[in-house]
Amino acid sequence: MTQTLLAFDVYGTLINPNAMAEVLRPTLQDQAESVAAQWRASQLQLSFRRGLMGRYVEFSVCTRDALDVAIAAHELEVDQATRDDWMAAYSRLPAFEEVDGALASLVAAGYRCVAFSNGTEKAMQQVLEHAGLAHHFDALVSVDDIKRFKPDPVVYHHLSRRMKVAHDNAWLVSSNNWDIQGARHAGMKAAWIHRDRTALIEDPSLAPNLEVDKLDELADKLAGMR
């Protein structure tokens, strides 16, 4: 019997981008949360926009541009060396606390786990190594292979082709509502991790197949769906 594939989104799902607020705080004080939130929102907006334009760049370019956008929108003065430090901190972001144990359980239970990100393979490798998670994965699958961004459907099809699985034997696992909807639109199953309780599935026809609060509930829930 073919192993079920679990494809984990990285930023927001395994790795906590909100931790950037702590990196910004010594410089930005009480604006740190607001700048970090806009940095993340602009990073996504820029990747969607570039994807729609057909003007792909490595995701780190979107991340860098989004930092500039967030700083400009807050009308702050931040020198280049500080911006470089913050970009470097992006590859040292921590994992959410339950992730390491949850991935170990899922691998032990026989699931085949891969990381699947808008980041490059090198960026994924760095952040997952630093967070002590890299050893759980059979493969790191980046959209950079085909120069398109999630949630373009071709990216999800690339995942299943590359891992040699049928879409109905593959799950996307993500905390990102847009990633869940992208996977469902492309015909994959999807498990939504509720890290943001206020996020919506804007298109109800693309609802996830499964919802959990934390990754460590995933093994039980998946077992219950068989």
Q: Which residues are catalytic?
A: 9
State both tokens at 80. Answer: 């280049």
Minimum distance of a second copy from residue 143's CB (angstroms): 12
DSSP class per residue in 34-99: HHHHHHHHHHHHHHHHHHHHT----HHHHHHHHHHHHHHHTT----HHHHHHHHHHGGGPPBPTTH
Q: What is the sign, positive or negative, of the torsion defined by CA atoms of 144, 149, 154, 156?
A: positive
Q: Which stretch binds a second copy (CB under 8 A): 53-61, 88-96, 157-165, 167-175?
A: 53-61
Looking at the Cβ atoms of 119 and 151, the one nearer to a second copy is 151
Q: Could you say which of 200, 223, 224, 226 contacts a second copy (CB under 8 A)?
A: 200
Would you give the distance in Å from CA 51 to the centre of its chain? Answer: 16
User: How many other CB atoms sit within 10 Å of the CB of residue 53?
Assistant: 8
Work out which of 20, 39, 51, 173 binds a second copy, going by CB under 8 A: 51
How many positions of this chain bind a second copy (CB under 8 A)? 30
What is the residue-wise DSSP string for 169-193? GEEEEES-HHHHHHHHHTT-EEEEE
Taking CB under 8 A as the criterion, the residue among 26, 30, 55, 81 binding a second copy is 55
Query: Of the two residues 119 and 179, which places its CB atom closer to a second copy in the complex?
Result: 179
144 binds a second copy (CB under 8 A): no
Q: Is 69 in the site for a second copy (CB under 8 A)?
A: yes
Structural element, H or E, at residue 25 = helix 20-28
Binding status of residue 208 toward a second copy by CB under 8 A: no
12 binds a second copy (CB under 8 A): no
Site residues (vs a second copy, CB under 8 A): 41, 44-46, 48-49, 51-55, 65, 68-69, 72-73, 75, 149, 151-153, 178, 181-182, 185, 198-200, 202-203
